[in-house]
Chains A and B, each alone.
Chain A
């Protein structure tokens, strides 16, 4: 018989599978069996008859797959029959221990079957009814053991069902997500509570009767239900969903994962009923008697019970009914109190004696500790600490065990928690950070996080209902004992950190250093998060914790001095003192100040509230004390010879810590200073003889100097000073004023930079020189009244005089700061032997530094220092324009200098072009033009050859080692490097051009009427002249003529300057964009890789610039000389097709392979930004044409489309554009947003050039499949004339005629107009037509 044969085959395969020789063949047989059609019958046959367990298992697995696959062919009766069969089979074989795996497979098959047909009416009911009948009712006739086994099967099936229905753990059914969601919602709505109740009932009974296995099964079912991903049904939003969820403070995301949405208040009666948990607690206490849980089953039972308790602890606050404050503060604590007591009774029991628990964990049994920590963290997240403590105290009192009492010292719950935390901290100290014993550090992190949450949540006893967002620290803890306990924990943390520091200092090996280097950043971040939590503890009790920290710092400092005095620099004592100080200064900064990232730094809220509160003086004193301790270290560093004692790493920490502190406390802006307590204001924000603030600021500035000068070659320290500390010092006006006025160190630093001291030039990386110059220049904002003072008491003239004096001050400062550098650049450029100097490494290095200083100081720095500084800097730069051109001519080929020169030019344009008067702007534009031309002369031909060589070298390397990207040969690496350099320069160039367009914005603001007239004026003779001048190399001035009114002329002239410069730049740029560069660009854009980041940006910059130019300056673009215009257009075309290819190649690809290019768009890194910009550019061109024709101009008739062989002469432009746009829309699968962009360009073209559309439409119709020609014609006709659609459609077979007729009607401006409504209607029509045409054109 067939079934028997199949059974035999499967059994044989199972046999053969055991032998390695035949395993492969056997596994393929089994796989084929699984996917064979109509396998269900065979499966049942095997399950019923086969003696082989293996065969049965494979049959079960095949059945599970077949249920999904063949479900549709089964029919309702077949499904019901299969379900009944499965249930009866499971029950019948429930007792056989060898069948466990077969059973579990079948259980999941049954769950899948149930879910697959769940949404049919009555299925759910039927499933549970049959399940109940099969597992509880029927087997009562048989032996009690059989009944128990059947019950177990039922529970397992329920658990599997819950898992299957939960969206996160569902198996794929080949059905949309919606089906899963509906099933989940239905189960949650109608059955889940029943399942829970059922499990509780069964479990309670089993626990009472000592049936361990049933109890364990019930517990895991409970855990599965509690882990359910609760979602509110969209129809009936739960009231809790309207409230913002209880937010967790940012930065405390570590430790426990954020709990899934938990059950809502409709579950309250079920979850919070006392008898839900009491049997679990009883079970646990019964099993926690020493010796009770010796067997494996018992241990498993305990584990599951713990898991259920932890899951219960994770309930969100939404579950709990709203209770008044009085109910919560009653003895017993209302419903929530009752719940807390119930769970805490279990949890506290696990950790009743902290020392023993931790010792047990160390001995290998860490589960109780781990689970308890999870539970405590979850409870601390969701519940106010006051309630927790009340409940905990009650539980402890009730337990009354001597051990607990002894451990907690009679201090109640908080004391117990503190003791536990301290024990865990101690234990985590005993294990190094990277050891395999993860539990210690993880438990420590969880407990500390719980403490941090508790001190931050304990907000003056506020009612949760009143303050749903009460997390986040509203003041000092009000719960008696909490602050003290937190301080105790904090001191434990400090102690542990100091011990860890000693160990770090002593045991440093090279191998560990390597490991650490790999994930250094991640570790530093985690350490920062830990410190932030510890800081929360310290801030809760500043009066206790801060002096502790200060004392520890003083002690470590003494230790350091002693070690240094004993000549022990380099010894273990020295190293451990340094390591301790590193940790302590960072901790102190964390405790004193928030990071202030992205916002105005303020004094941390707990501290400022503590300072305002009753014990304010003590808190302020603590802050001052800790600050003084923190400031001790810089004082130490300023002594002679300190650099040999204080390591660079420590200085880095000190610099970081001081920057953080200074950002909050040192001379804040007035508005921020109001938040500071008066004592702190007078200490650190007031100038004058009585205050030490000036000397503090001076000291910090001197520290910056010292770090830069006394620690040569310490790159990361220099970077910390230049990019972290100095920006903080130069950000705020009052602080800058103080530094400029009263800090000799700051002025020394500025003087040293100005006079180009070796330590700040040759000894500092160019990038850092730029930062330094930027910060120093930025500080010019601190000059008094460098902003005009609006005072009623001062007359206008006096105010003007004051402002002038201030401006003189500022410009004096800027000139002193940057003048020498500028002079140096000038004198270098004027050297007669400049050509010979270009080979000198030192000259190039110095020049690079000077260019960076100018970029930082004269561009970025002054931009934030106000108008006076900007004017002064421009004065310097204006004299440098000529010399910089000379330097570019000489040094342009130097890889470092050339790129930086372009970057400097980009920065000059970015920060100055918007503010210059017209003549100056023209000077700048002319300079940029010169720069561009010179760059082209230097680069144009050569780069492409170099790139070809590079490509050849890469091809050769790739040929030798196919796929071997890792070890590129030296030459290839050099070539790749050269390509990188080129890409960087091109990016700078593009940025330069993009920034030039800012001038447009400035002009638009200045002379909006002239601007508006010009942009819509179409092809006037003036712009044609201008464009021709650009091609021939004329100056911007040559473009102007006297036709227009004076204001418009000025605007237009400058405007034309913009267009001319940018277009010349593009002319330079486009030939340089090699295929490799843009290919790398797209690849990098798609992959988001770090190395090619320049590339992705490059393409985007290029196309947005192109799009901008054709949109805003279409007249100038159209007036370009034809070859240039063609290049531009091919580039736009390449972008619009999404297939990024260089203009040269695009010229070839453009005409030849229209379909292929569009088809490849999806494959070759489709970049939305690029396509959008390119299409916008094309639309701009089309609109210009339309407008120009309306005004009687010629539009872009003078230009021709790119020919297929590259270059111009490819026929008239309009048909080309229409066909390009239609191709983009029709071929490929661009989304509606792209089609709408196409519509923007298509509409004006259709209106202006109906003939072009007609020709193309006719061609489209004729090329289409004969069967659909009529429909294609009708669709195209509908595009231009919706009303004519009926007529066109009726003319079946005459599609071409319909198009022609409709296209002629298209000229009717009442049908198509360019108003917003008309555009929108057209776009909608286009989307519909495109969808239809896509389908029609693909008919094969």
Chain B
């Protein structure tokens, strides 16, 4: 085991840093990357060269994982780009208020109620609709909260106890 790996795994503990540098050439489609200071999922990568005998460049197209906006960026492939640290955490829903505030509880029993129903994109609106429907039907829900670069959003939901 090289020193390098041990050091990087230990140096920054969870939460210490929002992003991590990675060489642009190794970021492929389906990966994540910070573009325009937003966490994005990379949906397309193409490479080109500066002139015939120049170095490779990467052209990225990414989609903001929260807002769905599209960004493009070009970087020399040997340079580093920032890759967002993305965490997913599962909670059980304990309340959804009329204002759309979701109260939730994690595995350890800690509760929080600082998140709203997802909104802003078609997908998010639909998800919010589904959650409200489940809540109205008194179904028990588990939700996944995605957190990246200090921003959080409810990202998916599943019914954990169909019978109730």
Contacts and interface: CB of A to CB of B under 8 A. Distances in A.
Contacts of A953: 121-123, 126
A945 interface: yes
Contacts of B48: 513, 517
Contacts of B123: 949-950, 952-953, 971-972, 974-975
Interface string B75-117: 0111100011111100000000000000000000000000000
A762 B26 contact: yes
A945 B65 contact: no
A757 interface: yes
B37 interface: no
5 contacts: A649-B53, A764-B26, A765-B25, A840-B85, A948-B130
B138 interface: no
Interface string A975-1000: 10100110000000000000000000
Given A649-B49, A972-B122, A713 B22 contact: no
> Chain A CB within 10 Å — which of B5, B15, B43 has the most?
B5
Contact of A758 (B4, B51, B53, B56): B4
A843 B14 CA distance: 11
B51 A841 contact: no
> Chain A CB within 10 Å — which of B13, B121, B123, B130 has the most?
B123
B135 to A, nearest CB: 14
B24 interface: yes
A836 B56 contact: no
B1 interface: yes
B122 A969 contact: yes
Contact of A841 (B5, B70, B76, B83): B83
Interface in A858-895: 893, 895
Nearest to A946: B156
| Shortest Cβ-Cβ A-B pairs, 5 listed | A839-B87, A713-B78, A970-B68, A713-B77, A647-B53
B130 to A, nearest CB: 7
Interface string A486-509: 000000000000000000110010
B122 A839 contact: no
Interface of B: 1-2, 4-5, 8-9, 12-15, 19-20, 22-26, 28, 30-32, 41, 43, 47-49, 51-56, 63-65, 67-70, 76-79, 83-88, 121-124, 126-127, 130, 144, 147, 156-160
Nearest to A819: B1
A756 B121 contact: no
A762 B77 contact: no
B67 A970 contact: yes
Contacts of B23: 712-713, 762-763
A138 interface: no
A578 B87 CA distance: 47
A839 B158 contact: no
Contacts of A763: 23, 25-26
A504 B25 CA distance: 27
Contacts of B4: 756-758
Contacts of A828: 9
Contacts of B41: 974, 977
A838 interface: yes
Given A953-B122, A977-B43, A715 B2 contact: no
A957 to B, nearest CB: 7
A1040 B126 CA distance: 50
Contacts of B53: 505, 574-575, 578-579, 647-650
Contacts of B1: 755-756, 820, 823-824, 827
A763 B4 CA distance: 13
Interface string A831-846: 1010011111111011
A846 B32 CA distance: 14
Contacts of A970: 63-64, 67-70, 121
A828 to B, nearest CB: 7
B126 to A, nearest CB: 4
Given A712-B25, A823-B1, A841-B19, A833 B56 contact: no
Contacts of A946: 156
A853 to B, nearest CB: 13
B28 A716 contact: no
Given A942-B144, A950-B123, A953-B122, A712 B130 contact: no
A939 to B, nearest CB: 10
Contact of A505 (B20, B52, B79): B52
B122 A840 contact: no
Contacts of A508: 51-52
B83 A969 contact: no
Contacts of A843: 9
A713 B25 contact: yes
A977 B64 contact: no
Given A578-B53, A716-B47, A841-B86, A969 B19 contact: no
> Chain A CB within 10 Å — which of B19, B70, B156 has the most?
B156
A973 interface: yes
Given A893-B144, A948-B130, 17 more contacts: A517-B48, A647-B53, A647-B54, A713-B77, A713-B79, A827-B1, A839-B14, A840-B20, A841-B83, A842-B83, A843-B9, A895-B30, A896-B31, A942-B157, A971-B124, A973-B63, A974-B123
Given A648-B56, A942-B156, A715 B77 contact: yes
Interface in A763-815: 763-766
> Chain A CB within 10 Å — which of B19, B25, B55, B78 has the most?
B25
A648 B67 CA distance: 38
Contacts of B63: 970, 973-974
A826 to B, nearest CB: 10
A956 interface: yes
A578 B15 CA distance: 48
Interface string A725-738: 00000000000000
Contacts of B79: 713
B54 to A, nearest CB: 7
> Chain B CB within 10 Å — which of A574, A715, A836, A948 has the most?
A715
A765 B55 contact: no
B122 A713 contact: no
A587 B1 CA distance: 44
A992 to B, nearest CB: 20
Contacts of A292: none
B159 A836 contact: no
Nearest to A840: B85
A194 to B, nearest CB: 61
A981 B30 contact: yes
Nearest to B25: A713
A64 B64 CA distance: 64
A941 interface: yes
Contacts of A762: 22-23, 26
A1076 interface: no
Contacts of B19: 841
Given A970-B63, A971-B124, A945 B51 contact: no
Contact of A945 (B24, B31, B130): B130
A715 B47 contact: yes
Nearest to A756: B2
A714 interface: yes
B22 A648 contact: no
A942 B26 contact: no
A911 B130 CA distance: 44
Given A713-B76, A949-B127, A977-B41, A755 B2 contact: yes
A262 to B, nearest CB: 45
A578 B13 CA distance: 47
B23 to A, nearest CB: 5
A969 B55 contact: no
A846 B5 contact: yes
A945 B156 CA distance: 8
Contacts of B156: 942, 945-946, 949
A942 B158 contact: yes
A823 B6 CA distance: 12
Given A953-B126, A970-B70, A974-B41, A715 B14 contact: no
A842 B20 contact: yes
